[in-house]
Amino acid sequence: MKKILSYFSLAIICILLVGCSLGNTPTKKVERYLDNYRNLNESVLTQLDTIVNADTIMTTAQKEDYRNLLKKQYQNLTYTIKDEEINGDKAKVTAEIEVIDFYKVTNEADKYYTTNPDVFKDETGNLSQTKYVDYRIGKLKETTDKVKYTIEFNLTKVDNVWTIDDIDEATRQKIHGLYAY
């Protein structure tokens, strides 16, 4: 009986060791990173709050609507890993993501605002940023169009653990569906 338990324990340890090492690949790190967005991980939500709260134009209600739109964006993000290149302690993982096309809607809303300023005037005849933001958020809520982006994630291996290098603003905009294509 002791031999059986010893073999069983050894088998479990081997499985755990193999499982841990399989999770430490550049591809797995990128998958986990993107899944954190889809699952609304706490660090993703903290970053989202920082971005939204930094806006000085939106009202509190508009910020909440926009925050909810980005959460929806994250949850609807899909991805496919296209390639992984490892060169020593450096790696590059290429992923194709598909997100709601917020760029197109924002661009169209900006054009409408520019060509139809009277629609966005307040009771005193001045242009109202609040009216414009309400309009833009309304259009963002309505859209279902999607766009695909290719992202190259760079990773560095430190102490035998792969870590994603800081992402740039273009990558962040792609994840938010706001990248100007």
Cβ atoms of 41 and 144 closer than 8 Å? no
Rounded Cα distance, 149 and 175, in Å: 9
Nearest residue to 101 via CA among 172, 181, 180, 177: 177
Rounded Cα distance, 87 and 77, in Å: 29
Q: How many CA atoms lie within 13 A of 92 on its CB side?
A: 6
**Residue range 109-151, pLDDT digits in tens:** 999 999 999 999 999 999 999 999 999 999 999 999 999 999 9
**Residue range 100-111, pLDDT digits in tens:** 999 999 999 999
CB contact set of 170 (below 8 Å; sequence gap of 6+): 179
Mean pLDDT in residue range 85-110? 98
Q: pLDDT-based confidence at 23, cuts 50/70/90?
A: confident
pLDDT at residue number 22: 56
**pLDDT higher than 80, residue 15:** no
Among 18-27, 36-45, 127-136, which stretch is predicted with the lowest mean pLDDT?
Answer: 18-27
The SS3 of residue 43 is: helix
Rounded Cα distance, 76 and 85, in Å: 27
**pLDDT higher than 80, residue 54:** yes
pTM above 0.75, yes or no: yes
**pLDDT higher than 50, residue 12:** no
Per cent of the chain over pLDDT 90 is 87
Nearest residue to 64 via CA among 163, 166, 133: 133
